Chain A
Amino acid sequence: MWNTFGALTGRVWYTVRIMARWGSYFDVAGECRMLKVPFWQCPPFLFLLMGLITIVSMVATYLFASRYTVEPEVAALIVIFVAVLLFVVGNLVISGFDRIVDANRTKSEFISIVSHQLGTPLSIFKMTLELVQREMRGASPPPVDAGGAVLERIASLMTTLGDTTEGMIGLVHSLLEVSRIEARSIVLKSEIFSLNELTRKIVESRQRYTSASNVRIVLDLDGALPGISADQDRMAMVVQNLVDNAIRYTASGSTVAIVTVREDGNVRWSITDQGIGIPEAAQRFIFQKFFRAENGASRETHGSGIGLYIAKAIVDASGGAIGFKSQEHEGSTFWFTLPAAKSEDNAAF
């Protein structure tokens, strides 16, 4: 009896050590910090805890059953029953917590986006309009010397308002897209187009942003790239997000490289920056909605943390794949692949 108990204790201890090693490997503490919840509400920690409880309960049930039951089959059945019950209940509890934690995080992040990302352009609107009014009343310096100067200044203020409006519209579209993805109501059009052409257009539209950020974009586009069949507007959102991120996080004076290439039956698009990179601990969260890596958020205050979430949802729904490779302080390469359109469609294209 004691021998059996000793052997069992040794096995349980061994399992606990293995689980602890797994725990440190998966960095449960780091993950809980990232989710910003206490340990007792943190799903990865609860998962480990439930595993331990299940093992301890199984051992206790075995000891109890072997004491009161003569037949080992009955004891084994009781142990299996208790283990399955604990496993099912534990999983339900943990997945419930998981959903609550996720909903809570989403809610907080959403409030923060609304208060800051929408509040900022609204303040710009309010204050710039005030400047326009002052200018029209002739109250604002520099002194107005001619009607033309006033008009020129008002036009420049209007450009600020126009840019701010575009930014706000983009953010509202992105938030709507997130809600469509959540509701699984995203409907993709299917049209054949050239990814190279789309890339060129987007890079061109970002010229003011690239020169203001002192970043150079180099294109290495495969001239024989086949067309792709996807939703062009949605893919423009994906490319735009990846290009904007690369410009935003790369070092001033550096180069961003965009490469397209045919790969088996797919088209591969990639963008490489020489930016701050993504810390290893943050990499597994990068496609989650409203997630921003600490080093990125502290360097650049404009991101909303939904661009990559949307990009992944669109690429996945289009039958492709998306991923990245990153080294902190060195830079990142984000890529996606999409199936090339069939050859007969390509002929038409």
Chain B
Amino acid sequence: MKKILFIEDESALQKAVTEVLIAEGYQVFSALDGEIGVALALREHPDLILLDLVLPKKDGFEVLAALKKDPGTVRTPVIILSNLGDVGDVERTVELGATTFLVKTNYKLEEVVKKVKNILGD
């Protein structure tokens, strides 16, 4: 079973996305802030990470930088799922090594799942 880590501080969103991913047969770990997110990623070595940008304790940019520095997570695909969508934000995350950037309000749950499946080759 493939593992997905979802780092998101909004519990309602976390529940919704987690639920559909579990329904698709993935094992999902969730973190409510950036610090826990990095710790979980380094411990669990997920196959994919879904990452919000506005996060308590450590923001998404810092989390992404930390993940891309560690040899255990440097190759893990990271999907940014955020409501920040400025060109600057997108460029910064791509420079830091994000695989793709999804603006939350523009995507349906099933589209998010489709992206995940595409990236994981399922």
Contact = CB atoms under 8 A, between A and B. Distances in A.
Given A126-B105, A301-B56, A119 B83 contact: yes
A298 B13 CA distance: 20
Interface in A72-131: 115-116, 119-120, 122-124, 126-128, 130-131
B87 interface: no
B72 interface: no
B109 A127 contact: yes
A127 B59 CA distance: 23
Contacts of A131: 16, 19-20, 109
Interface residues of B, number: 23
Interface string A275-314: 0000000000000000000000011110000000000000
B75 interface: no
B108 to A, nearest CB: 6
Nearest to B55: A301
B44 interface: no
A309 to B, nearest CB: 21
Give the size range of A's interface with the partner. Answer: 20 to 34
Interface in A120-176: 120, 122-124, 126-128, 130-131, 134, 139-141, 160, 164
B22 interface: yes
B84 A116 contact: yes
A298 B56 contact: yes
B13 A141 contact: no
Contacts of B56: 298-301
Interface string B83-122: 1110000000000000000001100111000000000000
A130 B16 contact: yes
Interface of B: 9-10, 12-13, 16-17, 19-20, 22-23, 54-57, 59, 83-85, 104-105, 108-110
Name the 4 nearest CB pairs between A and B, nearest first.
A119-B83, A123-B104, A127-B16, A124-B12
Interface of A: 115-116, 119-120, 122-124, 126-128, 130-131, 134, 139-141, 160, 164, 298-301
10 contacts: A115-B83, A124-B10, A127-B16, A127-B17, A128-B16, A130-B16, A130-B108, A131-B20, A140-B23, A301-B55
